[in-house]
Structure 1
Amino acid sequence: MKKPATLDDVAAIAGVSAKTVSRVVNRDGNVSAATRERIEAAISETGYQINQAARSLAASRSFLIGAFMPHLSSFYFAEIFRGAAKACRQYGYHLVVEEFDHGVDTMVDRYEQGLRSARCDALILTPPVCDDEHLLDALDRDGMPYVRIAPGKRPGVSPALSADDGQGVRQLVEHLWVSGRRRFAVVAGPADHAAAMIRERSFAEALAELGGDPSEISLTRIELHESISESGRVATLDLLRRAVMRPDAIFAFNDEVAIGAMAAARELGLSVPDDIAVAGFDDSYIAQLAWPPLTTIHQPIADLAFQAVSVVASGDRFDASQILLPTRLVVRGTT
């Protein structure tokens, strides 16, 4: 059998020292672009494989990044996984996923029984886990670094990345107002979800700025079922059946809830968008495949996760920096 390539083999082909090859393997920035390209070409030529155990020992890091993911399938968490996995490949890390069940598992238990023993270099915390006070206390107690995505509590305790939810919501409200809609409903997300509350509040504030009355917004909140779309359908049916005056526009917490809202409207014999306009949030694939195609607010979910991993990988940027990424309205057939 062919003997596995070593650092020395790569160094000999690239014309550099083994130490320089090690710097490239460990993503050290103190190597010129030309030298890095030469070494990467030599790695490809030799088929050199990193000895992860030796690399971890030398760097005093595990090169593992942990993340909690709910058992419910959703576009949001699929994008979080995609962005984090892509960044891990780029920076030479591995992603360790701990699954949890809303309403059943406590996050401290999931951490103590799973990710703590994995000895991750850091954890990526997404909503609503990022605001779990008991989990944050446990991580702080253990000295476990973490990066949060879209947190609503404890500002400044860790690096955090968020989408500018309010920016996109304001664009949506103006679009609905200009198109002649005046009776609004919001199918809101969970009350413990910080971004959901920002979207809800931003909708009311934007409406007030345009001369509307936020107190007249019909509001209902989803209760999570096995299907998020089903949660949206049930909540919207209840809202429309209770309404004294039927709304002519619905803003849903996310695209999957919006799909459920469209299904509820059809169930009651209403046409979208003629009788009622519907808009979501995320700009998921389902928004483009729905009929009519769903108006929504695009947020860079995968990029949030990619940058969260980048914060961990960079090391020197691991402070309490807050990064805000833009959102934008995508107008389609439902409005």
Structure 2
Amino acid sequence: MKRPATLDDVAAIAGVSAKTVSRVVNRDVNVSAATRERIEAAIRETGYRVNQAARSLAASRSFLIGAFMPHLSSFYFAEIFRGAAKACRQYGYHLVLEEFDHGADSVVDRYEQGLRGAHCDALILTPPVCDDEKLLDALDRDGLPYVRIAPGKQLGRSVAVGADERRAVEQLVRHLWDAGRRRFAIIAGPADHAAAMVRERAFCDALGALGGDPAGVALTRIELNESIAEAGRIATLDLLRGTNPLPDAIFAFNDEVAIGAMAAIRELGRSVPEDIAVAGFDDSYIAQLVWPPLTTIHQPIADLAFQAVRLVADPEGFSTGNILLPTRLVVRGTT
């Protein structure tokens, strides 16, 4: 049988040392573009594959990055893991996922029974896990690095990546106000979801700045014990049946909740946007597929995860401070 290609084989073809080949394999940026191209061509020619066990042993790292995955499917988490997986491929890491049921499991238990034993180099923590103090205490106790995505509490506790949610929410409120909407409702996320609370506060603050009454905003929260869109539909039905007069604009925690809200509005014989305008958050692909197309706030979800992994992979990452990515309002037919 033909023996597997080695670093020395690649080095001989590329005309460099095995150490230089190793630097390219390990994504070291301190290699010239021309040398990198020769080495990558030699890797393709030889079919060289990294020996992950040897690489981990030599570097005293596992090249594993862990993350928690909720049992509920959603566009947000699909994008998070797409961005994280892309970054892992680019930087030579592997992504390890630990599923948990937020309504039933203790995240600390899932960590201690699962990811702790995986010997990950670091974890990336998404909402609402990123604000679980017991988990953060356990990670700090174990000395395991972590990057939080969109934390809402103890912002200085760790390196974090987030989106400028307040700015786009302010743009949304101005858009609804200029369209003549005056009776507002929010279909909010769970109370322990810090990012949801940021959106609520930003909405009410912006409304107050325009001369509206934040105290008059009708608010209800979804319960994550069924599909997210269905949770939005149920929460909206409950809100509309108990509110008189009806709101003429609804801001939903995310796009899936907004689509559930649209279904509830039609179920009650009302129309969107003529009777009630609806806006979501995330700018998911389904926002353009529903009718009318959904007004929403775009946030770069996949890039949030990509940047979180980059901070882990970059030796200087944990000294760069926090990263804040831009958001923008996307106006479509529902408003």
Settle same-fold status: TM greater than 0.5: yes
Distance 2:315 2:142 in 1: 18
Deviation at 1:101, TM superposition (A): 0.4
Give the aligned partner of residue 149 of structure 2: 149
The structural deviation recorded for 1:210 is 1.1
How much has 1:320 moved relative to structure 2?
7.2
Aligned to 2:226: 226
**Matched residue, 1:255:** 255
The residue that corresponds to 1:289 in the other structure is 289
Q: Give the drift of 1:254.
A: 0.2
Bigger shift: residues 95-104 or 150-159:
150-159
Q: 2:56 and 2:283 mapped to 1: Cα distance?
A: 39
Secondary structure of 2:319's counterpart equals coil
TM-aligned CA distance change 1:111 to 1:320, over 3 Å: farther
Alpha-carbon distance in 1 for matches of 2:13, 2:46: 9
Paired residues of 2:103 and 2:225 also in contact (CA < 8 A): no
Superposed CA deviations along residues 5-51 of structure 1, whole A, max 9, x for unmatched, are: 11011101111000100111111222111111111111111110000
| Aligned mates of 2:57, 2:125 — CA distance in 1 | 26
Partner of 1:89: 89
Paired with 1:101 and 1:231, the residues of 2 have a C-alpha distance of 16
Alpha-carbon distance in 2 for matches of 1:273, 1:115: 46
1:136-179 CA-to-partner distances (Å, cap 9, x unmatched) read 11101100100000111222221101111111101111111111
Distance 2:215 2:317 in 1: 43
**1:250-282 Cα deviation digits (max 9, x unpaired):** 000000000010000000000101111000000
Q: Which of structure 1's runs of 4+ aligned residues deviate more than 2 A?
A: none
Measured after TM superposition, the shift of residue 322 of structure 1 is 1.3
Are the counterparts in 1 of residues 150 and 161 from structure 2 also a CA contact under 8 Å?
yes
Matches within 5 A, 1:28-43: 28-43=28-43
Does residue 316 (structure 1) correspond to residue 311 (structure 2)? The answer is no
CA distance in 1, matches of 2:317, 2:102: 32
Q: Counterpart in 1 of 2:185?
A: 185
Matched residues in 1 for 2:300 and 2:263: separation? 26
Give the superposition deviation at 1:117: 0.6
Aligned residues: 335
- Percent of aligned positions that are identical: 81
In 2, are the aligned partners of 1:156 and 1:321 still within 8 Å (CA)?
Answer: no
Residue equivalent to 2:169: 169
RMSD: 0.9
Could you list the per-position Cα deviations for residues 155-207 of structure 1 after superposition, in whole angstroms to 9, with x for gaps in the alignment? 22211011111111011111111111111111111111111001000001111
Q: Match for 1:12: what amino acid?
A: A
Instruction: Quote the residue 1:131 is aligned against.
Output: 131
Q: Is the 8 A contact 2:152 2:198 kept in 1?
A: no
Are 1:275 and 2:259 an aligned pair? no
Structure 2 spans left out of the alignment, 5+ residues: none
What SS does the aligned partner of 2:138 have?
A: helix
Q: TM-score, normalised by structure 2?
A: 0.99
Q: For residues 192 and 322 of structure 2, what CA distance do their matches in structure 1 show?
A: 21
Partner residue in 2 for 1:210: 210
Counterpart in 2 of 1:201?
201
State the partner residue of 1:63: 63
Deviates more, 1:28-37 or 1:164-173: 28-37
Partner Cα distance (1:145, 1:315) in 2 = 12
1:267 maps to a residue whose letter is E
3-state SS, counterpart of residue 147 of structure 1:
strand
Distance 1:88 1:226 in 2: 31
CA deviation profile, 1:220-257 (whole Å, cap 9, x unmatched): 11111220011111110011001121100000000000
Unaligned runs of 5+ in 1: none
SS in 2 for 1:65: strand
